[in-house]
Amino acid sequence: MIVLLHVVRRCYLLSLCGIAMRSKTKLLSIIETLEKIYVPWKWEIRDPFKILVSTILSQRTSWRNVRKAVDRLESKIGINPKNIAEANLENIKECIKVAGLYNAKSVRIKEIARIIVEKYDGDLSKVLNLPLEDARKELLSLPGVGFKTADVILLFAANKRVFPVDTHIMRISKRLGIVKGRFNYENIRHVWEKALPRDKYAVAHILLIIFGREICKSGKPLCDKCSIARFCKFYEKLKGGARGESSKERVAY
């Protein structure tokens, strides 16, 4: 009896390993397919505070507007914690107006700058030098900094082992059906982190955003033009005669 239980348990564990391995291969194949189609843009900003400011500015606007706002803020005030903390709020608003929601964004940027000056002597790299989980915790304690912003800073400014998940990546992950269990930020992040080699995180993050903007759009995905449809649960349902995403299931990202 004990031997039988042992065999059953072993088979179960092996089948779980098999599923995990298949899922891992699938996600890697997805990224390799996207690599053949798109040229990922180069992530130019490396300064953690500038990434933080850019990510706040990017909420509900295009990257073109973010770039304009960043350029203006840089030339008029200088994007570093000390300058922003000391700057007049109205001047900050004026610089970032093009990025929209400038009242709320300017207050948040100034407040974060003040905290960084007071708590870390104006040097955010002190936070990034901490072990990953500690650095993440510190960043998340800043007002208005959520998981995505923290992880973007950790990956692109400090090359930490973390995969940032934005709204495009959430939507694509949901449609692909890759998350077993609760569908939330942390689970999605862990799925991608486990599946991809460390040196693919940055490029995969960018490729998925491009793919989300161009093909797997939030309103109506262009499934007939999709090169990764063979990996997609949503597409499987669609072709199986189901209606695909019902209005109830529609992804709200």
Complex with ligand SF4: residue 6 or 250, whichever CB lies closer: 250
Question: Using the rule CB under 6 A, which residue among 68, 148, 175, 189 binds ligand SF4?
Answer: 175
Of 123, 122, 125, 92, nearest to 108 by C-alpha is: 92
Q: Which two tokens stand for residue 252?
A: 């709200």
For residue 242, the 8-state DSSP code is S
Q: Which two tokens stand for residue 79?
A: 């994007």
- Closest approach of ligand SF4 to the CB of residue 24, in Å: 18
Interaction of residue 130 with ligand SF4, rule CB under 6 A: no
Question: Using the rule CB under 6 A, which residue among 229, 237, 251, 253 binds ligand SF4?
Answer: 229
Question: Using the rule CB under 6 A, which residue among 20, 179, 223, 251 binds ligand SF4?
Answer: 223
Complex with ligand SF4: residue 202 or 229, whichever CB lies closer: 229
Per-residue x/- mask for ligand SF4, residues 179 to 218, rule CB under 6 A? ------------------------------------xx--
| Three-state secondary-structure class, residue 34 | helix
- Closest approach of ligand SF4 to the CB of residue 54, in Å: 27
Alpha-helix runs per DSSP H in 38-166: 48-57, 63-76, 81-86, 89-96, 102-120, 125-128, 132-140, 147-156
| Three-state secondary-structure class, residue 183 | coil
- Closest approach of ligand SF4 to the CB of residue 34, in Å: 10
Complex with ligand SF4: residue 123 or 236, whichever CB lies closer: 236
Alpha-carbon torsion (61, 62, 65, 71), positive or negative: positive
Interaction of residue 145 with ligand SF4, rule CB under 6 A: no
- Closest approach of ligand SF4 to the CB of residue 175, in Å: 4
Kindly list the distances between the CA atom of residue 61 and the CA atoms of 21, 67, 189, 235, in Å, as whole numbers in the listed order.
38, 11, 24, 29
d(C-alpha 125, C-alpha 26), whole Å? 36
- Closest approach of ligand SF4 to the CB of residue 18, in Å: 24
For residue 246, the 8-state DSSP code is -
Contacts (Cβ under 8 Å, ≥6 apart) of 217 = none
Complex with ligand SF4: residue 24 or 26, whichever CB lies closer: 26
Interaction of residue 234 with ligand SF4, rule CB under 6 A: yes
| Chain contacts with ligand SF4 (rule: CB under 6 A) | 172, 175-176, 215-216, 221-223, 226, 228-229, 232, 234-235
